[in-house]
Chains A and B, each alone.
Chain A
């Protein structure tokens, strides 16, 4: 049996998506849905690191997305677009082609640092108490941006469309599709590498028995620090992507509802399963779109499906297993390094 090379397949899929968007085989609605799907994948896989693998109950994930969204938007608008906030762009707008992804990374970095807001309390408390801390962090972050009048306050911040169109002026390809896809692959890739290493296994050890972990030489505080920073940093990237796709960012979009959405995807997919998190993000986004004709009834059907699923598969779709554990035959088709 031939083993296909995962990176090659992934690149081909990305290329196919970009080509399909470029030549209009996918209409704008489908394109946007696909991009939201990718953002949901980043959201659920990154939260899965905390809620699934580390066994904490973090319910403020949207807060970190908010930080990433604002920071990357501010950076890219200030550098590459004329705006009412910062006036003339600091750099030539054509630089946006390189600068936009870097601004996303900057947003992720700042979000990672904001993650310390939760990481430090997690040294001393856990479980329900830490859940309150994460909730508080979410509210603090939202309030900060609501009250920052220089970037629009409660009215929100915009101008990212200009950055994206500046990129399109240089080369007319579906940039946002490209970068959303690339960052999604990046997220899953580094999470997979992290979680399969001896260092990353420490995260599971902290979940299953923190005292044993500490006694067995695992620096549990460092593990928590790394996990929270990684998770919130990736959430920040997801936020930045969302802001650039929408062209508009508003603090109230990153409230507890958004955090809940991420949590639903983690628990639906199965705690601690990376493929489960990806699968459930696809499923939730897909369901949301497929059931759109139902109108308001959609919000009866989807939660009902959730209730039924939890009734019959209380551990989520995948439990804590990966796709390759459930279907070992899949291993014959690929080799992951």
Chain B
């Protein structure tokens, strides 16, 4: 494999491609989009379904993207990306990137079918899912990627239930099961790891998928300044993981370093404030089960 120069904070382009958007202060999703656009550069065509990033980027008469970007139908991000790739190839624009930015609901629930089709066709597209663990744009409703115990407006915490009753969908493994060319998970708390994965995805000749864990201060009830550190902590305590799938092999990029941080990490967030010790035990045992399986199969 050719050795390509690593993109870092010091050598990345000074040009901003996602600028002047109206996202909430401290938004992890907008950071994920901004960094991705800086890696992919000017010759990039983006499609965004309904979700925070399309809502904050395309407020008439504003257009916060500095490259070509369009709002797709909610379930059709994958198919629209395929169409854009076909169109660009037909016009002879081969040295371009086609990228989709969808939220967790737009990927794991509503857009899954079209994404599955795009991966099946093996089109040269990049799909980025910024996972803020609920439908944040419409006001914090539970999605398939909302973890157990999360308080959302459709899974309220009270006497009978303590928030969401289901665990997070194994989306990364579902995507990998298509035998996709490249898939990875990332976190805004580990930006260099994310940048490396973006540059890898840009070079893949086939479909690539990056699932980035992106903090949402508004929906999570967390201080805006902790957006990056919380996303880092989530990886450290094992609630999220950094992994890659390529050449039909899984690889864990970072080991579980601080499992004891779990309780402290959860109770820092408004959406988990109500959790009892029993609830935390459920989350902990699910985490341990997942990590045990991951280490056994991928380690």
A and B together in one complex: no
Point out residues on B near A: beta carbons under 8 Å.
none
Point out residues on A near B: beta carbons under 8 Å.
none
